[in-house]
Amino acid sequence: MISKIKKIIVNHLLSQNDWMQSKLIAHKNKAITISISNFEIHFEIENNGQLKTIDKKKKIDCIIKLSINDFISQIINNNKGKISIEGDLELAKEVSEILKQIEWDIEEDLSKYIGDIPAIHTTRLIKKILHTSKNNINNLTGSLLEYWEEENKILAKKNHVSKFNYEVDQIVEDVDRLEAKINMIINKIKS
């Protein structure tokens, strides 16, 4: 049941973004899997270039994998995280670019139920809430990071880690030099 609902939602979003057809028509009948941690969605490119969700029954031409953290980071901060690609790289690049640009036309969907004017106002309110939430998350993240670096010292600052690594490297070099001198003295004593 959940799988069927997932397909309906994804296919609805994809149908609202029919501009992608011209970009994908060259890859018709190819199958793509997007894996976010253990959650997978399988797509097939139809003859008209439209993406549709499918069950994983056929050979997959391309797999795009990323962790849930990288997925969230991309959505919230538009940061490109670590993405693993297997299979057709050209197809993966095209699908990745398209998926970054897909937008849900919530206003259109809401207008069917509550009318055009309330849908416009509701959409503006939702966008404002999302924008504020994004800013609040970024501020909270920055504050927690600063607290953990400065006050609670759970996290180390990048320059402190670099300094520590440099000092460890110096100790290793000093030990290597000392070992070489000791070996040289031992060889002189033996001879």
**C-alpha dist (Å) from residue 28 to 89, 133, 179:** 15, 39, 65
Per-residue pLDDT at 9: 66
Which tens digit of pLDDT belongs to each residue from 86-97? 888 888 888 777
* Predicted model pTM: 0.49
Cα 145–151–152 angle (5° rounding)?
A: 80
Per-residue pLDDT at 88: 83
SS3 content of the chain, % helix, strand, coil (to 5): 65, 15, 20
Per-residue pLDDT at 37: 80
Tell me the residue type at 15. S
Could you say which residues of the chain have pLDDT below 70?
1-14, 16-19, 57, 72-81, 99-103, 153-155
Per-residue pLDDT at 72: 66
Which tens digit of pLDDT belongs to each residue from 165-187? 899 999 999 899 999 999 898 88
Nearest alpha carbon to residue 36 among 77, 62, 72: 72
Per-residue pLDDT at 126: 82
Per-residue pLDDT at 3: 57
Which tens digit of pLDDT belongs to each residue from 52-73? 778 776 788 888 888 877 776 6
Tell me the residue type at 87. G
